[in-house]
Amino acid sequence: MSDAAEERRASELRRLIEDANYRYYALDDPAIPDVEFDRQLRELQDLEAAHPELLTPDSPTQRVGAGPLKDFAQVAHDVPMLSLNNAFSEGEVAAFDRRVREGLGREGLELEDETEYAVEPKFDGLAITLRYERGVFVRGATRGDGATGEDVSANLRTIRAIPMRLAGDNPPAVLEVRGEVLMLRRDFDQLNQEACDKGEKTFVNPRNAAAGSLRQLDSRITAKRRLHFFSYGIGRVEGVELPATHSEIMDWLATLRMPVARQRRVVSGVSGLMAYFKALGEQRSTLPFDIDGAVYKVNRLADQERLGFVSRAPRFAIAHKYPAQEELTEVEGIDVQVGRTGALTPVARLKPVFVGGVTVTNATLHNEDEARRKDVRVGDTVIVRRAGDVIPEVVGSLPERRPMRDLATPLHEPFVMPAVCPECGAPVLRLEGESATRCTNGLACPAQRKQAILHFASRRAMDIEGLGDKLVEQLVDRGLARTPADLYALGLEQLAGLERMAQKSAENLLSAIAASRHRPLARFIFALGIRQVGEQTAKDLARHFGKLDAIQGATADTLLQVPDVGPVVAASIAAFFRESHNQAVIEALRRVQAWVDGEAQAVPPGRFAGKTFVLTGTLPNLTRDQAKARIEAEGGKVAGSVSGKTDYVVAGAEPGSKLVKAEQLNIEILDETAFLYLFDKGEPPR
């Protein structure tokens, strides 16, 4: 190749690689296979090695990190990096809106004059600023104290979501982009898993992992951590005419290939803000990243300017926070509970603490390894996390606050797993390669028996109303029920002797038990509590085999033919049915006709039976398969094209002609939020 040809090729490769980075990291929509990407990167590295003059600072080869720095240089921010004031309630949001309206001289005006707000998730990461000159990334810095931050450019270059060159032919002379560096949950989980496998220290949450990674003096380490970036605004700008609103600035940034949150919207007034807060909160646990609230900004820049700032925060913006998902509290004791499968779970008993919207008094330590790794001891101050509906867990302890006997000796010993089951005294066993320690007593252990019966009776299994843990406890302790089958032999006289069991409630319980007969096969399979078999697998099995006999007789090989059943699940199912105690229980349940065979009954008609949905475009969070599964799980149908028979069109980003057709036919169109609302409430939002 001639020099000119090589230069052209290098520039082409840089463009191809950055295109791929953009598709992969900013759009989450890879365009080329990984091997092709690697090949292009290697070709560019080779070219640059042979012709060092071709190496540019914005080359994607520079994303692998450079050698260690002694420390970070200080950067004075051209435009200060402020913080946001917080609101924790609707009242505080309303007060914010009132101040905005007063500030703009619009108090007392009518509904149509409600303030327009640009809204977006509040990312739980680290604020940074990126400086581009003539479209090329030149420097990036942390927020620091708002006036001066640290130059972390080398680390930021390793973040592939951050463009090294802005898209477009006419870049502004200067553009400072403000945003947040964070770690996606899946990358955090992977990082911690790897650290765990290597016996290294893990991070307590994605934010700490992101902070630790961004503050590395050796950017080669940062390069190995997958960090992500979202922009939420701008700082200094020169040489370009800005649009009139914040939302348009964000749209413009997106055209420059800046990653922006898909969840951003424009809404009106307090009711719009609150509806967004609620919808975002419902998505929160399924978002790919952690958020701690929503950010509301007056959309019109002219209005922002009129409102100005109070001390160090803008008057035109506010962060509306969700209740904290992590709190500090103290460990009062560590108990060990025995679950349905005999697994022993260490549980920290806590000084009550309000976290994630509820008061938490117990939090799981999962298993022996986790308890050991976290080294949580009685008296420790710990971080407790409760996210969404997930059971509360102890994330880690603060060793510096540990009660000590003397300078070197903690007051309490590390946790050790008991050698015998705390419920039945049988020896416990931990199998090679398993994280769980289990009681070896099987269903002879009363704790396991109780859990098995409770699971059998639970709402999503046989749905026996009124059969709660207090009752099951008594039934098992008095020998009235050893297995789920015994429930069906209970009579009034036996129940009459139980505590807190009036005649009326005994009658109700007996009729609830009777009513739980003839359940669909899928529910019954789920109710059996076969390890590795959740609701979905139970449905798959019912659909595939149609009859319990066929499942009982299936070998692990035959089971592997069921869609989504792998070797571990297949082996577990086969082992369950080989077990003679299980066979006896199933026989007894057969005699009382606890279930009906057949797949037809296995799928309940569902709320959306007879409804036809069409999916188009990319949804912000749900994959196509996930959306489809939700629709089908409730009896709905997904069709490939829009017609007069279509009930709903679910439209995401870059929808196709289906959306146009839906509009022509006047068919109800749902975005993801509305779709989720529909599935939550049974009707679309109005």
Active site residues: 122
286 interacts with ligand JCF by CB under 6 A: no
Q: Minimum distance between the CB of residue 120 and ligand JCF, rounded to whole angstroms?
A: 5
Among residues 26, 127, 371, 627, the one that binds ligand JCF under rule CB under 6 A? 127
Among residues 149, 233, 446, 636, the one that binds ligand JCF under rule CB under 6 A? 233
Alpha-helical runs (H) found in 528-665: 535-545, 548-553, 556-559, 567-578, 580-591, 624-633, 657-664
Non-local CB neighbours of 515 within 8 Å, separated by 6+ positions:
none
Burial 432-450 (b: 16+ CB within 10 A, else e): eeeebbbbebbbebbbbbb
CA of 187: how far to CAs of 118, 203, 206, 207, in Å? Answer: 29, 12, 9, 12
**Residue of this chain nearest to ligand JCF (CB atom):** 232
Give me the residue label for tokens 């990036």.
140
Q: Could you write out the DSSP letters of every residue in 304-330? A: HHHH-EETTEESSEEEEEPPPSEEEEE
**Identity of the residue, 265 or 374, whose beta carbon is nearer to ligand JCF in the bound complex:** 265
- Residue 556 amino acid letter: A
Using CB under 6 A, which residues numbered 495 to 534 contact ligand JCF?
A: none
180 interacts with ligand JCF by CB under 6 A: yes
678 interacts with ligand JCF by CB under 6 A: no
**Identity of the residue, 180 or 327, whose beta carbon is nearer to ligand JCF in the bound complex:** 180
If 0-12 CB within 10 Å is exposed, 13-18 middle and 19+ buried, where does residue 329 land? buried
DSSP 3-state percent helix, strand, coil across the chain (nearest 5): 40, 20, 40
- Residue 475 amino acid letter: L
Residue window 182-221: x/- pattern of binding to ligand JCF, with contact defined by CB under 6 A:
----------------------------------------
Q: Tell me how many residues contact ligand JCF (CB under 6 A).
A: 12
232 interacts with ligand JCF by CB under 6 A: yes
485 interacts with ligand JCF by CB under 6 A: no
CA dist., res. 143 & res. 156, Å (int): 13
Q: Minimum distance between the CB of residue 272 and ligand JCF, rounded to whole angstroms?
A: 17
**Identity of the residue, 1 or 79, whose beta carbon is nearer to ligand JCF in the bound complex:** 79
Question: Can you name the residues that pair with 233 across neighbouring β-strands?
Answer: 178
Using CB under 6 A, which residues numbered 612 to 651 contact ligand JCF?
A: none
**Identity of the residue, 60 or 293, whose beta carbon is nearer to ligand JCF in the bound complex:** 293
Residue window 301-330: x/- pattern of binding to ligand JCF, with contact defined by CB under 6 A:
----------------x-------------
Using CB under 6 A, which residues numbered 67 to 126 contact ligand JCF?
A: 82-84, 120, 122-123
> Which helix (H) or strand (E) is 352 found in, with range?
strand 344-355
**Identity of the residue, 13 or 84, whose beta carbon is nearer to ligand JCF in the bound complex:** 84
Which of 389, 337, 336 minimizes the C-alpha distance to 360? 389
**Backbone Cα Rg of the chain:** 30
| Residue ranges with strand state E in 105-245 | 116-123, 126-133, 136-142, 148-150, 174-182, 228-238
Q: Minimum distance between the CB of residue 469 and ligand JCF, rounded to whole angstroms?
A: 42
608 interacts with ligand JCF by CB under 6 A: no
Residue window 33-72: x/- pattern of binding to ligand JCF, with contact defined by CB under 6 A:
----------------------------------------
Q: Minimum distance between the CB of residue 178 and ligand JCF, rounded to whole angstroms?
A: 7
Q: Minimum distance between the CB of residue 324 and ligand JCF, rounded to whole angstroms?
A: 16
Give me the residue label for tokens 């509290």.
329
Using CB under 6 A, which residues numbered 5 to 24 contact ligand JCF?
A: none
Burial 384-413 (b: 16+ CB within 10 A, else e): bbbbeeeebbbbbbeeeebeeeeeeebebe
**Identity of the residue, 180 or 380, whose beta carbon is nearer to ligand JCF in the bound complex:** 180
Among residues 87, 295, 475, 541, the one that binds ligand JCF under rule CB under 6 A? 295
Question: Can you name the residues that pair with 181 across neighbouring β-strands?
Answer: 126, 229
**Identity of the residue, 120 or 380, whose beta carbon is nearer to ligand JCF in the bound complex:** 120
The contacts found for 278-283 with CB under 8 angstroms, 24 or more apart, are 279/673, 279/676, 279/677, 280/121, 281/322, 282/673, 282/676, 282/677, 282/680, 283/620, 283/621, 283/672, 283/673, 283/676
Q: Could you write out the DSSP letters of every residue in 497-545? A: TSTT--HHHHHHHHHHHHHTTTEEHHHHHHHTT-TT--HHHHHHHHHHH
176 interacts with ligand JCF by CB under 6 A: no
**Identity of the residue, 137 or 232, whose beta carbon is nearer to ligand JCF in the bound complex:** 232
290 interacts with ligand JCF by CB under 6 A: no
**Identity of the residue, 63 or 122, whose beta carbon is nearer to ligand JCF in the bound complex:** 122
Q: In this structure, what token pair is assigned to residue 78?
A: 């051209």
Q: Minimum distance between the CB of residue 264 and ligand JCF, rounded to whole angstroms?
A: 9
Q: Minimum distance between the CB of residue 87 and ligand JCF, rounded to whole angstroms?
A: 14
**Identity of the residue, 260 or 574, whose beta carbon is nearer to ligand JCF in the bound complex:** 260
Q: Minimum distance between the CB of residue 119 and ligand JCF, rounded to whole angstroms?
A: 9
- Interface residues with ligand JCF (CB under 6 A)? 82-84, 120, 122-123, 127, 180, 232-233, 295, 317
